[in-house]
A = this chain, B = another copy of it.
Amino acid sequence: MPFVREAANPLVTPEMVKPSMPGFRVVCTFNAGVAQHGGETLLLLRVAEKPPQAPEGSVNVPVLEMHNGTWQVAVHTLSLDDPRYDFSDPRKILDKEAGNYVYLTSISHLRLARSRDGVHFTVDEAPFIRPDCELEGFGAEDARITQIGDTYYINYTAVSIHGITTALATTKDFVHVEKHGSIFVTENRDVCIFPEKIGGKYFALVRPVPRQIGQAKMWMSASEDLLHWGEFTPVAMPRFPWDAARNGGGAVPLRTEKGWLVLYHGADRESNRYSMGAMLLDLEDPRKVLAISREPVLYATEPYETTGFYPNVVFSCGAFLVDDVVHMYYGGADRVMALARADLKQLLDAMEPLQ
């Protein structure tokens, strides 16, 4: 593997994070967006919290509800005997008649962790982006941060009873944040916005999940204002054993002399193991794949990657490039944050032209 892990891994764990609500427990701190700001490396963590334990024979689920004109987290208690529901997945609850999931068992918000050296992080006391609207009823997840000029564009997954959509927010100072609503409709997550206009347009990798025809895989989309998107074209079919079940965007693309470096995720069919791969896209037309790694560039081997909330997962939402070294932050086993580094030349050498 071209990537070498930081010895201090894991860098952020749930134990380092204060709950945002009384009685809730932080169970996961993972899949962080990454930014450089004010001399610090910032991780915008996905913090998943569980509500207080329910009485024996029941389960508590968190969900946003409108009370007195504001959206607040309420806790519903469901009986495990309720014939309407299937409770077999510990992460979510299925409505058997409708055939879709109607509750998650935890709710996520986005919170900042800060570091001067990129390795030792302190986590803010309060959320940076809280779920607070109808399309965020089940939480805000998996941020990616793209810096364009002095503005940081933060896209994240907004989950609710309406489905899984991608929302956009902006900040300049990581103190004030403005939400701009939904930019990709359900079911679409793992959106990675490129950090500059290419040929006069913005581009983003998107990952729609079809129901009937087609695989869950990366598409390219283009925009003139970052709020309205179109021009959808498929980019990279899952083609290797390690991404045969699905693939999708990972880290925000990095500009290199050879092309756009895309670190993306894939899951295999056998065990749903999530690994990271790499591809190189044409600098002037990012819809063209120049080269791709046949094998993962990072896959789960360490205990904090093989054991956690969901086992055998490495999943990156952000990386940066300093002096020809790629620093990739990633979630381990959907529970902690970690860091791995790769020499850019070695990473490029690990790719070969797309047949």
Q: Which residues of A contact B (CB under 8 A)?
A: 92, 97-98, 100-102, 134-135, 138, 159-165, 181-188, 206, 208-215, 219, 221-225, 227-234, 269
- Are the C-beta atoms of A98 and B215 separated by less than 8 Å? yes
- Are the C-beta atoms of A208 and B185 separated by less than 8 Å? yes
- Are the C-beta atoms of B232 and A229 separated by less than 8 Å? no
In the complex, the 7 A-B pairs of residues with the closest C-beta atoms, listed nearest first? A163-B214, A228-B228, A228-B230, A182-B232, A163-B210, A185-B232, A186-B210
- Are the C-beta atoms of A164 and B227 separated by less than 8 Å? no
How far apart are the CA atoms of A225 and B233 in the complex, in Å? 19
Secondary structure dominating the interface of A: strand
How far apart are the CA atoms of A209 and B185 in the complex, in Å? 10
How far apart are the CA atoms of A228 and B163 in the complex, in Å? 21
- Are the C-beta atoms of B181 and A214 separated by less than 8 Å? no
How far apart are the CA atoms of A222 and B214 in the complex, in Å? 26
- Are the C-beta atoms of A228 and B232 separated by less than 8 Å? no
A186: chain B residues at CB < 8 Å are 208, 210, 213-214, 219
How far apart are the CA atoms of A213 and B139 in the complex, in Å? 13
- Are the C-beta atoms of B212 and A164 separated by less than 8 Å? yes
- Are the C-beta atoms of B232 and A230 separated by less than 8 Å? no
**Complex A-B: 22 CB contacts under 8 Å:** A92-B213, A100-B212, A100-B213, A101-B212, A135-B234, A138-B213, A160-B213, A161-B213, A161-B214, A164-B213, A165-B232, A181-B230, A181-B232, A181-B233, A182-B231, A182-B233, A184-B185, A185-B188, A210-B211, A225-B228, A227-B231, A228-B229
